[in-house]
Structure 1
Amino acid sequence: MKKVLVLGGTRFFGKRLVELLLQDQDSEVTILTRGLTEDSFGEHVTRLAADRTDEAALEQAVGDTVWDIVYDNICYTPDEAAAAVRIWAGRAKRYILTSSLSVYDPQPEALAETDFDPWHYPLKSGGKTDISYQEGKRQAEAVLLQTADFPVAAVRFPIVLGTDDYTRRLHFHIEHVLAGRPVGIPNPQAEISFIRSDEAADFLHWLGREGSAVTGPVNACSDGTLTIGGVISIIEQITGRTAIVQSEAAETDQSPFGIGASWFMDTAKARSAGFSFLSLSEWFTELVSSLTHSLRQDQ
């Protein structure tokens, strides 16, 4: 039996990943969280409780078990990555880090994995209060890929969307349009990548099984892009309301998608390894429609 550990598996795409793993008859699934969020997995998983930022507690929780796969959805800093390198030295056969599109700076062309090179990025220490989210993810990749004695894949996801998105980023736009509130968008023509939460889970699951030869950074997003203005147009069509778009707005009205320049990824590496991504155009409008219906019922 494969021993699989998931750090951060009680909500959003982490929860969906655990649900997929539980369908694998050859896997024993363990989840590690702080123990603050209930889950619906019953007796089908083993649970470990520890604060990810407490290295001693984390090491005690995972013990001496040798894990076939460690999925790390909650590593945000070089200090956390360095702790993982120490804790799982000789104890992980494969390590899959959830990284981010944020490691890249925006550019007009599709971003390939080579546009940020974690193998030659200067290492530094730091926690969440010391560095930005972007730098934290860059450093997490760099520390793991440069110093770990186990194979590492770093999955670069864009913004993940779904009915289960606890950050409610797409919800924000629909709610603002329905309420007639302004939405701050500095560049409506900027293109962006997205991935749906179930697709993100599918990719992580595939990477741990069929994609086991993939190491290093790998981009993962739905096929196609949308402009931020295009997102708003779809919301207008579904809601029947006209959006109030402003180049500048109060912080509470600033779009979570309000990027100043295009920011989207090329997925040739993952596709050449055998993964087929969903088409963004086929699911985005359906998701907006589903969320709009739900939000209107809540009003």
Structure 2
Amino acid sequence: MEGEFRGTVFVVRDVCVIGGSRYFGKRLVALLLESGARVTVVNRGSSAPPEGAVHLVADRDDERSLRAALGSRTFDVVVDQVCYTPRQAEIARRVFEGRTRRYVLTSTVEVYEYEDSPGRPVREDAVDPRTVEVDVSLPWGDPEFAGEHYGEGKRQAEAVFAREPAFPYVAVRVAHVLGGADDFTGRVDHYAERIAAGAPIAVPAPNHPATYIRVEEIAEFLVWAAEGSFTGPVNAAAHGVLSTAEICAAVERASGGGGRAVFREVEVGEVSPFSFRRAYGMDNSRAAGLGFSFSKSGQWLDEAVAETLR
């Protein structure tokens, strides 16, 4: 491993990205390559990484497969884009022990799914992964179960790295991501379709705003986190919160005024994406204090929505 520390910045020479085949993962790999780093991408072979990256095909859920693909390789940093469960975290902790000097876990704002902090953003210490109970006996291998327990899976994955740290680790708790014509989530499209059709948009009562980050900015943040020397959880969110109404207004503008959002408040049942029964917008002061310069969400909202709907 050839990485070195210069002050508080880790000069990254050799990076392993697990996943990274779509959305901000693709942008992360591109930025690392542009920085001059040697990048190894590990995925199941569904898509090839950008030119210049080494591609290893392995099933990260299969410890033998992962070890065989890696061979004797070592890295300065591992950025894990697709660790969703404590089982996956345990495999990664065992496999990469002795192979990396730093581990960056891409986590999520959904680790705060049990929090509610009206009037103030949520800080990292609201969820201490060292106190989260890990239960690998749950059916994490069932995609439906894992999807329904996405936030809990991430909480427990963080806990695995925090309780038995085989290497310095960072858990980047990513805000809701906006932007990019390759946004595969369909959340912005959901609003555009309902606005165009004049169909009601279901929202909870009350409906709380949330924190967001632009797709390019989270890729930049992950590179910054890979190069840092800090450890533990860190929130990644642009300054300011956005409401469902503000996002829908941006959709209306991008659509050329071809419809207006009609909201229908519901007490129980399914609600539209980007609408929230709890207030858990994230406090980004830790990352800002460490030197990352965040954008303001209101400044790029229109552009991010427009490029998604092109």
TM-score normalised over the length of structure 2: 0.87
- Does the Cα contact within 8 Å between 1:187 and 1:261 map onto a contact in 2? no
CA shift for structure 1 position 114 = 0.3
Find out whether 1:55 has 2:63 as its counterpart. yes
Residues 249, 19 of structure 1: CA spacing in aligned structure 2 closer, same or farther, 3 A cutoff? farther
- Does the Cα contact within 8 Å between 2:207 and 2:275 map onto a contact in 1? no
Match of 1:10 among 3, 7, 21: 21
Partner of 1:191: 209
- Does the Cα contact within 8 Å between 2:204 and 2:267 map onto a contact in 1? no
Partner of 1:213: 229
Amino acid at match of 1:243: A
Match of 1:174 among 192, 199, 224: 192
- Cα deviation, 1:214-260, whole Å, max 9, x if unaligned, reads 21000001110012222223333443221121124998x84111311
Find out whether 1:136 has 2:153 as its counterpart. yes
CA shift for structure 1 position 190 = 0.6
Q: Size of the alignment, in residue pairs? A: 287
Partner of 2:32: 21
Distance of 2:237 and 2:126 partners within structure 1: 16
CA shift for structure 1 position 59 = 1.6
CA shift for structure 1 position 86 = 0.6
- Cα deviation, 1:141-164, whole Å, max 9, x if unaligned, reads 000111121000000001111122
- Does the Cα contact within 8 Å between 1:184 and 1:249 map onto a contact in 2? no
**1:1-299 pair list within 5 angstroms:** 2-25=13-36, 27-39=37-49, 41-42=50-51, 44-104=52-112, 105-108=115-118, 109-125=120-136, 126=138, 127-129=140-142, 132-163=149-180, 164-187=182-205, 189-209=207-227, 212-239=228-255, 240=257, 241-248=259-266, 254-292=271-309, 294=310
Distance of 2:188 and 2:253 partners within structure 1: 15
Q: Identity of counterpart residues, as a percentage?
A: 38
SS at match of 2:230: coil
Unpaired segments ≥5 residues, structure 1: 295-299
Residues 73, 291 of structure 1: CA spacing in aligned structure 2 closer, same or farther, 3 A cutoff? closer
Amino acid at match of 2:222: L
Structure 1 segments of 4 or more deviating over 3 A? 236-239, 248-251, 289-292
CA shift for structure 1 position 106 = 3.4
Unpaired segments ≥5 residues, structure 2: 3-12
Residues 161, 188 of structure 1: CA spacing in aligned structure 2 closer, same or farther, 3 A cutoff? farther
What's the Cα RMSD here? 2.0
Distance of 1:183 and 1:249 partners within structure 2: 14
Residues 250, 49 of structure 1: CA spacing in aligned structure 2 closer, same or farther, 3 A cutoff? farther
Residues 275, 144 of structure 1: CA spacing in aligned structure 2 closer, same or farther, 3 A cutoff? same
Amino acid at match of 1:35: G
- Cα deviation, 1:180-222, whole Å, max 9, x if unaligned, reads 222211146411011111100000011112xx12210000011
- Does the Cα contact within 8 Å between 1:187 and 1:228 map onto a contact in 2? no
